[in-house]
Chain A
């Protein structure tokens, strides 16, 4: 069966000297009803990947012409602006990281929900209003009808994010892209929002692309996980496989940095160094300067994403004589 959404060789660069290759050849698929999590540190290119899918890259950013985002049999990146607008918000919707700044401060909740409905559906003002109330109830905002007249600053962060989710769900999209949907929220609120997302996804049968820097956040939600580093996917496998047997040293390090309740308490380990600058990726494997297992080949030659039994991995440690990957 053809996947619902297929991203092939996605490359997004930002003009400069030298140009920043924020996303540098990303491939993945998303099936109907599935949740794929893209995980990685800040600056690894995960948000730019998400934005590129809907063509939301602003100048000086540019999606390279060889990139393909196939949805419903068409490449979204070659669509006319008008055609692409029909997909945005209706077929593929997005929830952003900062609800406080992602909602327009001078428009009411009602306006911000109904304008999406009215942009994509032939619907009367009253019907749109009724639907907006239903949506607020769906995302469990108490006194939904009264909150329609509220402005974003009158709501808490959690409520704002619920409104964002209501907006995203208004046209019953096939794909929901959630870019760090809980990062800006308090921990208790985070859990509520994640639960809500999981429940709504099941109820509406949406596929979800969940972007996060936190493996802990995606643990309960993701079917598959793609780990990004240096603008590329470095490991991609089922969530179970990633958590049980990470293949890439970077994934392993990320996992060690997540506090776990089901293991004895040990020191959390940090990954030494920081994400390299996207304008000057290191030669060889992009992770090699921070990798405890790097050997000669890692420093000189760039590994490809290679299929294995458990999933895909981009690492020279799969090769003799340093075979580590099972």
Chain B
């Protein structure tokens, strides 16, 4: 197991390096540079713009810029944010926890809800409940995430007024709240974005889990478990689910890229101060190092997510562990 993890971490470094390089190259291919908007302004003298270009090293050959960027990255220096006039890492650092929180909550929705529904459906396959849930999950699965977000926002935020619709906390009273009330405020703000971001994944997971459950429940060892006189609960949870989770773990690894893509849209709809929104703004503003930093961090998260899925697989399925 340790060797496996070590090998995968080494791979991860290579992947992150590649993503960093690709992002850098793509940005170089795009027209303009961080000072484009400044230089097109008639109010700023050309000499000042040129001076700035020199100061940031933007006048150097691309290869030199690239080597310097990699060197900085290796030391954990993400570069400078031209838009926010502070290190790119500081801009990212302020948003990262919000995105991690949102992604984690969405994962809970995706897999908690998805696995629960899938198991319930698998056990009642062909029933009316199963049919209705299948239709619902197919509908949700086919829904664009931003549209789902807007509908939920209108329904629960505007019409019913149950939940706040923007931001991660209440901008007015949050600082005066007690710790407990602050947590509650955060949960209320988190609910709609997390459900929006997690719902589509939950629908996919439910369909996967249902099929896996149906497949497992027909296996010989389920008959053995029943012949042993075990309670149906034990048969389902210990014997069927443990096996039916295996295909869904693969989905867990795949969920991370989709999730990070989804945060961009969800954070925009719910004005969630996270990485997704930061990245989009940075791309529009040619804020190179915020973009590359965000891409590298996203790569790290995806790679770690996949590693986690592989480890989970090994924990749950003894057949995939290396021979001792």
**Once the chains are docked, how many angstroms separate the CA of A90 from the CA of B220?**
19
Contacts of A104 in B (CB 8 A): 221, 224-225, 239, 242-243
Q: Mark B298-324, 1 if CB is under 8 A from A, else 0.
A: 000000000000000000111100000
Partner pick for A115 among B221, B238, B316, B319, CB 8 A cutoff: B238
Contacts of A103 in B (CB 8 A): 221, 224
Which B residues, 190 to 231, have Cβ-Cβ distances below 8 Å to chain A? Answer: 218-221, 223-231
A102 and B319 in contact, given A85-B229, A86-B229, A115-B238 (Cβ under 8 angstroms): no
**Once the chains are docked, how many angstroms separate the CA of A93 from the CA of B224?**
10
Say whether A94 contacts B227, CB under 8 Å.
yes
Q: Does B40 contact A (CB under 8 A)?
A: no
**Once the chains are docked, how many angstroms separate the CA of A94 from the CA of B220?**
12
Contacts of A116 in B (CB 8 A): 228-230
Q: Does B250 contact A (CB under 8 A)?
A: no
Q: How far is the CB of B121 from chain A (nearest CB, A)?
A: 16
Q: Does B234 contact A (CB under 8 A)?
A: yes
Partner pick for B228 among A51, A153, A167, CB 8 A cutoff: A167
Contacts of B243 in A (CB 8 A): 104-106
- Residue among B220, B229, B234, B316 with the most chain A CB within 10 A? B229
Say whether A56 contacts B234, CB under 8 Å.
no
- Residue among B224, B226, B239, B243 with the most chain A CB within 10 A? B224
Total count of chain A residues near the partner, CB < 8 A: 30
**Once the chains are docked, how many angstroms separate the CA of A51 from the CA of B224?**
11
Q: Mark B227-265, 1 if CB is under 8 A from A, else 0.
A: 111111010001100110000000000000000000000
Contacts of B318 in A (CB 8 A): 105-106, 151, 153
Q: Does A96 contact B (CB under 8 A)?
A: yes
Contacts of B317 in A (CB 8 A): 105-106
Partner pick for A88 among B220, B221, B226, B316, CB 8 A cutoff: B226
Total count of chain B residues near the partner, CB < 8 A: 23
Say whether B224 contacts A115, CB under 8 Å.
no
**Once the chains are docked, how many angstroms separate the CA of A94 from the CA of B319?**
26
Which A residues, 90 to 115, have Cβ-Cβ distances below 8 Å to chain B? Answer: 90, 93-94, 96, 98, 101-107, 115
**Once the chains are docked, how many angstroms separate the CA of A300 from the CA of B317?**
57
Contacts of A81 in B (CB 8 A): 232
Say whether A107 contacts B242, CB under 8 Å.
yes
Q: Mark A48-74, 1 if CB is under 8 A from B, else 0.
A: 000100101010000000000000000
Contacts of A167 in B (CB 8 A): 224, 228
Say whether B223 contacts A56, CB under 8 Å.
yes
Contacts of B227 in A (CB 8 A): 54, 56, 88-89, 93-94, 96
Contacts of B226 in A (CB 8 A): 56, 88
Contacts of A4 in B (CB 8 A): none
Contacts of B316 in A (CB 8 A): 106
Partner pick for A89 among B229, B238, B319, CB 8 A cutoff: B229
Say whether B220 contacts A96, CB under 8 Å.
yes
Contacts of A58 in B (CB 8 A): 218, 223
Say whether B228 contacts A101, CB under 8 Å.
no
Q: How far is the CB of B16 from chain A (nearest CB, A)?
A: 33
Say whether A96 contacts B223, CB under 8 Å.
yes
Contacts of B230 in A (CB 8 A): 85, 89, 115-116, 119
Q: Does A120 contact B (CB under 8 A)?
A: yes
A105 and B228 in contact, given A115-B234, A151-B319 (Cβ under 8 angstroms): no
Additional 7 contacts, C-beta under 8 A, given A56-B226, A85-B230, A88-B229: A54-B227, A89-B228, A104-B242, A104-B243, A105-B317, A106-B317, A115-B228
Residues of chain A at the chain B interface (Cβ within 8 Å): 51, 54, 56, 58, 81, 85-90, 93-94, 96, 98, 101-107, 115-116, 119-120, 151, 153, 164, 167
14 contacts between A and B (CB under 8 A): A56-B223, A85-B230, A86-B229, A88-B229, A89-B228, A89-B229, A94-B224, A96-B224, A96-B227, A101-B219, A102-B220, A106-B318, A153-B318, A164-B224
